[in-house]
Amino acid sequence: MLTTDDDPLLENPVPAPTPTMSRTQKDRLTSDLRMACMRISRRVRFESRTDVAPHQFSVLVRLEGGPRTPKELAEIEQVSAPSVTRTVNTLVERGLVARSDDPTDGRQVILSLTAQGKQTIKETRRRRDLWLATRLEHLTDAERALLVDATALLERVAAE
């Protein structure tokens, strides 16, 4: 048996070459990956059984970073001002968001989370994590390790 003392090439083995994907294979990967990500996202949102709609939860999370104006929320969420207004009105009625006058500009309204809004975020995340954790329990250790690597890659893709 050869050791690294016998053969210096064994110290830094050259990885096996990765086969080049054809255009068709790349297209298929693109489509399959997009659909898998969408399905997981949809299942996590809708099967976690919360009483907050996904668009409402998104606004709550945006306010988690601090108070914002409706205009800022509309820009961040990339939706129209009337759409944000409807969502915010519902969240205010439910006691999840509070409105206050902007101390420097009387024409502006400042939106912030209430204690109930913070609790709703915490509970929604807990339920979503529980739903996904339950599914991950059915995987092998090797499959979970693969998902660790895949998560890092997906984070890189999302950041670009």
Domains of the chain (ranges; CATH) run 31-159 (1.10.10.10)
pLDDT in tens, 97-133: 999 988 887 788 999 999 999 999 999 999 999 999 9
DSSP for the chain reads ---TTT-GGGTSPPPPPPPPPPHHHHHHHHHHHHHHHHHHHHHHHHHT--SS-HHHHHHHHHHHTS-B-HHHHHHHHT--HHHHHHHHHHHHHTTSEEEEE-SS-TT-EEEEE-HHHHHHHHHHHHHHHHHHHHHHTTS-HHHHHHHHHHHHHHHHHHH-
pLDDT at 11: 59
pLDDT in tens, 19-75: 798 999 999 999 999 999 999 998 988 877 778 888 999 999 999 999 999 999 999
pLDDT of residue 82 exceeding 80, the answer is: yes
pLDDT of residue 152 exceeding 90, the answer is: yes
pLDDT at 2: 47
Cβ proximity of 44 and 128 under 8 Å: yes
pLDDT at 1: 47
Q: How far apart are CA 147 and CA 129, in angstroms?
A: 15
Residue 101 bridge partners (DSSP) = 109
The answer for residues whose C-beta is within 8 angstroms of residue 54's C-beta and 6 or more apart is 45, 46
pLDDT at 110: 95
